[in-house]
Amino acid sequence: MEAGVVFLLLLASLGVALTDTFHGDSISFMPPKRNSDGTYKVTFFHRQNSKGNCKNESTFTCDDGVCTTFSKSSVLPTDKEVATNPRWCQSEGRTTATVSTNKNSLTLRLTTTMHGKIPQSWRRSGCCWEPNVQGVGVSWTSFAELDLGTRSDTRSINSCPVTTTVSSLRVPQNCFSKIRLLAYDPDRDKVRCRYALNATQVPGITLDETACTLTKTGNITTGVHLFVLTMEDVTTKNITVTYADKTTTYREESNTRLPPLCKVKVQFSVEVTDSIPNCEMGHVQPTFLSRTPSHGDVLHATVGQTFQLYAQAQAAHSTIQDFQVSGPHNMTKAFKDDQFGKAEVTLSWMPQQSDLNRFVPVCFTAETKKTQSEMRCVVVMVTQSSITQVRAKVQCEPNKMTVVLEKASIPDIDENFLQLRDPSCSLTSNSTHITGVMSFTTCGTKLEEKGDFIVFKNEINSFVLPSEVIVRRKTVKIDFSCQFPKAIEISSYYSVRNSDYIFTESSFGSFGYTFEIFRDGNFTKKVEASAYPVEVKLLQTIYMGIEATSELPNVTVFVESCKATPDDNPDNALSYDLIKNGCIRDETLKVAESPQTEFRFQVQAFKFTGNYDQVYVTCSVILCEPGSQFSRCAQGCLKDPSRRRRRRGLSKETVGHYITQGPLQFVGQPVPKAAEEGLNVVMQNDDVPATVISPPAAPDTKSSKGSWEFKRMLSSNVTAVVLGSAFLVSVMLLAVVIHRYSRKTRVEDTKALIASDYEN
């Protein structure tokens, strides 16, 4: 982030704090506000993890004189183990600063630094990390950087990622699998996790920066390991950021080369304990049961009303003694021990007016004497009035789910401002009902495992247009799901190979796509589900087809892009374009004639360089009503997409939806060219990309001519090779004959010589 104001938080007094050793901390922010006088109101919450008595009386100061007022509430404990020597204790303090600056960003810091030998009294005061494997112990620093510009999409100052952890994380050495961190952004930006500058990386553990997950990849020693990370937000759309001095900057979608709009440090420790006999979750280590919220869920609370969160866990061969919680300081905890190794907790909290619009991170674990469950975290969004939450009628089918809402049950709701989790999927309605249809792999549907069940979850939310300054509509959040037992054959209930995609849009109703791999160029024999992953060889021709179905007659399907990736993540940075902006990019790709609702093509099999043996193909597909010269389907290949002609209201088309097929699994040696039926090598004579046409027109004459020239050259070369080979074979045969004749002659001469000597 470019240099800005340094908003320096200094620990005024270390000697009066009564905390034990430091175990980590986190900072979360209220949405920053710009006051009418040009100053900024910045409110943040600091949670600190430690042992023993976690009451913290430290005070903060603001450096450089940029704070005209500085208000700090009392630091209060949020959770503490009930024991003589508590293993965990967490506190939270709230600070509000009025910042006067003409710069574009500010930096928050809280630093403790000790030099020389550390007195035992200071170590008890929380100055230093607890003893750890890395040997870090002298100092720790809290840190955050905030951009003060106003975003064009939200018309507000950027919000920082929300995160926290429980105070004490423990995992047996032989059971360390992964630790999922909370990484939520109120602006719906992507959150990227990185090791902080100069932080020591833990050997044997890999950080997935995109998923914000720590995974075991090698041997890990027992003891306490420290993790010092930063969470950064990356915009998922193109936006403009405007600052107080009227200057602007342009933020390109998913551009990781730009500095983040916000950077927040989170630090914590993980104790790797001795191994246990059984690592199965629910045996000795507690596992959460189905009524527990899923990791990353966004829950809603209302000012002045009691919010409750319920969690339940089970450990068949150990006793759950407590739940460790990281939450707001006035959240209460009610623990209940049940039979069969089960235990439950109910968290209660009443948000105050000062909590309005706050995004509150809450994390929790189930604790036994020697182990704990996975850490689960949710975000609680605080609103002024109750959010409408109704029970939807859901129909679960083998490859899709349908949600139906009765309009009479949700009066005063504007159906035009409702959407599914994926905003590209909208809803349809009639005079009495609002309906949404989606497959288990589209529209933001999430798959989760809950005990003995697999659950597919989605939600209906209200939304606000970027151009709206005020609204008078109620906020809506409706969760719905389909649940299937693991004991059944799961593949009979949902498409594990992503070939069925169902969407809903208000102007097109329900429509869907199938994406198949075929046995040959007739496009009639599909590869069976049992044959996935599909085994192929390099240079083999792959036949694929996309078919659209729609409630509307006479629609046309258009494939705007297709790209290959080495895994099922279409956003993988390692990718290869087959079709882009409606233009063919791969020289071996050929489009076959097909009806207007189908797109059939063939491409020569390839693999990514490096240690990759699979390929997935993801395509962006659009449906259009024919007859409009301004529709995306009619415009075909666009060399410069920015110059696309658009006429609002004159063309009727869906948004682009992504569908994926694969994997293709590479085996054996490449297919010989002479043995590959239908393999045509196409050489393009110029840099002009071929056009994806639906239905396809006749082949490009230039490409055909280039192909013929290449074949003619290849034919003449083959003839020369054959003649040369025949000549070499003849020479070799002649040499063999001469050699054998020579040997025979020498033998006969020898015999004759021996006979002559004998006779003499």
pLDDT of residue 740: 55
pLDDT of residue 605: 92
Strand intervals (E) in 274-306? 287-288, 298-302
Cβ atoms of 81 and 99 closer than 8 Å: no
Beta carbons within 8 Å of 16's beta carbon, 6+ residues apart: 57, 58, 125
* pLDDT tens, residue by residue, 697-709: 333 333 333 333 3
pLDDT of residue 229: 96
* Six token digits for residue 322: 């407590």
pLDDT of residue 758: 34
3-class secondary structure for 195-229?
A: ECCCCCCCCCEEEECCCCEEEECCCCCCEEEEEEE
pLDDT of residue 705: 34
Amino acid at 717: N
pLDDT of residue 332: 95
* pLDDT tens, residue by residue, 275-333: 999 999 999 999 998 789 889 988 888 888 899 999 999 999 999 999 999 999 899 99
CA distance 410 to 261: 38
Q: Which residues of 105-139 are buried (b: 16+ CB within 10 A; e: fewer)?
A: bbbbbbebeeeeeeeeebbbbbbbbbebbbebbee
Measured at the CA of 357, the angle between CA 351 and CA 361, to 5 degrees, comes to 70
Query: Which residue, 174, 201, 141, is CA-closest to 279?
Result: 174
CA distance 252 to 258: 9
Query: Which residue, 255, 201, 257, 188, is CA-closest to 228?
Result: 201
**Residue 455: its H or E element:** strand 453-462
Beta carbons within 8 Å of 246's beta carbon, 6+ residues apart: none
pLDDT of residue 244: 86
* pLDDT tens, residue by residue, 583-595: 999 999 999 999 9
State how far the alpha carbon of 281 is from the alpha carbons of 61, 325, 532, in Å: 46, 20, 30
Phi, psi of 52 (to 5 degrees): 70, -140
pLDDT of residue 174: 93
Q: Is 140 exposed, middle or buried (0-12, 13-18, 19+ CB in 10 A)?
A: buried
pLDDT of residue 447: 75
Measured at the CA of 25, the angle between CA 349 and CA 81, to 5 degrees, comes to 60
Q: Which residues of 354-388 are buried (b: 16+ CB within 10 A; e: fewer)?
A: ebeebbbbbbbbbbbeebbbbbbbbbbbbbeeebb
* Six token digits for residue 223: 């003891």
CA distance 540 to 677: 9
pLDDT of residue 155: 85
Q: Which residues pair with 272 in a beta bridge?
A: 171, 223
Return the SS3 of 249.
strand
Cβ atoms of 615 and 564 closer than 8 Å: yes
pLDDT of residue 126: 45
pLDDT of residue 58: 57
State how far the alpha carbon of 573 is from the alpha carbons of 570, 577, 616, in Å: 9, 12, 13
Q: Residue 265's CB: how many other CB atoms inside 10 A?
A: 24
Whole-structure pTM value: 0.57
Cβ atoms of 168 and 23 closer than 8 Å: yes
Extract the residue ranges of the chain whose pLDDT is less than 70: 1-20, 52-53, 55-65, 111-127, 137-138, 385-392, 398-399, 412, 449-454, 466, 468-474, 484-500, 506-507, 509, 551, 628, 641-651, 668-760
